[in-house]
Structure 1
Amino acid sequence: MTGLPSWVTELTDVLPAGRTGPAGPGGARPAPATELRPGCPAVTLDVVHEWHLRTVVPLLTEATARSGRVTAACARLAAVHGRAREAVAVEEEEWFDVLEPVLRQVYRDAYGFQRAFAAAYENARSYAVANGYDAAGAHRYGTDYAELTTEPNTRAFAEANALANARAVAAAFATGDADAFARSFPAARTRAYARAVAAGTGHAPRDVDARFASAYTDLVRGLWSALHRTPVGPS
């Protein structure tokens, strides 16, 4: 029994790292989560702020900087995490104000616009062909359908997820409630971070799965580092 919250072990259990995963500098492999803090009853939000300050926000900043998206918002979020890590109280509304724009871009990127567009196009094109359209007409039909549906779907997905996540996380951070943070589905949010980083690095869409795995590995290694570096609850 490690005392680590389930969201930490959920992240590390699905990560293709640890004993059998990719080696770090010098060939070292990160320890599995179950060996990090044996006997600890809780992980405080100090760990979370450290992780976001040192790993999560820098990765998101690098990904968004390539196109200028929300770079200033990432800097504001990092500054607030820094204050919180130093035990400076931050009100819920301030947390929400800095979280929401960053999360909106995260979920927009994580949605996978190009893949969604391609799927919508192909489904609509196939429908058109099956209903007697010639090749040019089917192409136009597929393109029009994809253009009309993908952007609204992406925007709705990003806005809804950003609003819900920012509100839940802001409340947890403002009160210092680690249990409330754990109930805000941080493992799922971390996968969205990795998807956003993978989408924001400017490479070909075919490489997105490999880039997701790399980004996810970096995020979880950052969490391991924060667990080692930052005080947790009494053992």
Structure 2
Amino acid sequence: MNTTPATAPPGTTAKPAAAGSGEAPAPVTPPHWTEQLTSALREGLATDEVLVPTADALRLGGLRALHHWYARTTLPLLAAGDPTGGDQTTRARTPVGPLIDLHLRAAEGTLAPAAVWAAGLHPVLLATYRRAYPQAAAYAEAHANARDYALANGRTGTEADEYGHTYARLSTTANAEAFATAHADALTPALSQAYATADPAAYTATFPSSQTRATVRAASTAADTPVPSVLHHLATGLATALRERRH
């Protein structure tokens, strides 16, 4: 009996084995974090794709440029606050404040322990993935399904509609929380270790492309801004981070 595990290690995807080979799928290493990040930013920027730095340029900037981008562009946008990140007093009053400060210090080469990163990351990841959850679409689908169920069981149109809204509110809230908690709980230890050790390979294994897409959705919700505008802002901020990293 073949006892080889059929799943790939964390941070990898599985490459199908040849049919009938009896072998487990071989793990496939994800693209380098720079390729993942720039690719995710180019999505939806067909007319302004040139704004996104190349993966090679980002690779030269390294994780310090990434920390600068998070501190000065991404986290302030998620907070829908001061686009410069604000001063220390202002940052301390916001949920993202401690994490902005950690990224600012890391951009200068001062790395915090993994436990400190975890304390700063988890609440922000939780809030980000709550906002990234497709609330409107999930609510509409849950309402329609519950309303149809109620109608099929003899409820009037008004009763069915009310039942649908009640079910949709409960299920959407619960599903959004489960979605956010699952992502925050999985990403916090992985990102904390990657940042604490300044390990590009460890950061690559956290799938930054997926995180970036979630960030775009969450920022669009937080700032009530169209997705292309969010992508434009993030791409411009990344280019700025690279320029400042060179000086």
Q: TM-score range by the shorter chain?
A: 0.7 to 0.9
Give the whole-Å Cα distance in 1 for the aligned partners of 2:102 and 2:211: 19
- Other-structure match for 1:21: 48
- Selected match of 1:171 from 173, 176, 193: 193
Change (3 A) 1:98 1:52: same
Q: Is 1:9 matched with 2:31?
A: no
- Selected match of 1:137 from 159, 163, 168: 159
| Runs of 4+ more than 3 Å apart | 40-43
Taking structure 2 as the reference length, the TM-score comes to 0.74
Change (3 A) 1:155 1:4: closer
Change (3 A) 1:102 1:32: closer
Contact 1:110 1:193 in 2 (8 A): yes
- Other-structure match for 2:211: 189
SS in 2 for 1:9: helix
Change (3 A) 1:121 1:71: farther
Change (3 A) 1:178 1:122: same
When Rg is computed on C-alpha atoms for both structures, the one with the higher figure is: 2
Q: Give unmatched runs, 5+ long, in structure 1.
A: 23-28, 65-69, 204-209
Q: Give unmatched runs, 5+ long, in structure 2.
A: 1-31, 83-91
SS in 1 for 2:45: coil
Change (3 A) 1:160 1:58: same
| 1:103-118 to 2 correspondences below 5 Å | 103-118=125-140
Give the whole-Å Cα distance in 1 for the aligned partners of 2:222 and 2:52: 29
Give the whole-Å Cα distance in 2 for the aligned partners of 1:83 and 1:157: 30
- Other-structure match for 1:160: 182
Q: Is 1:79 matched with 2:101?
A: yes
- Other-structure match for 2:75: 57
- Selected match of 2:51 from 30, 33, 36: 30
Q: How many residues align?
A: 207
Contact 2:71 2:104 in 1 (8 A): yes
Q: Is 1:127 matched with 2:149?
A: yes
Contact 2:128 2:218 in 1 (8 A): yes
Give the whole-Å Cα distance in 1 for the aligned partners of 2:110 and 2:59: 24
Taking structure 1 as the reference length, the TM-score comes to 0.78
| 1:41-52 to 2 correspondences below 5 Å | 43-52=61-70
| Cα shift at 1:145 | 1.3
Change (3 A) 1:119 1:181: same
RMSD: 2.7
Contact 1:5 1:43 in 2 (8 A): no
Contact 2:53 2:235 in 1 (8 A): no
- Sequence identity, in percent? 34
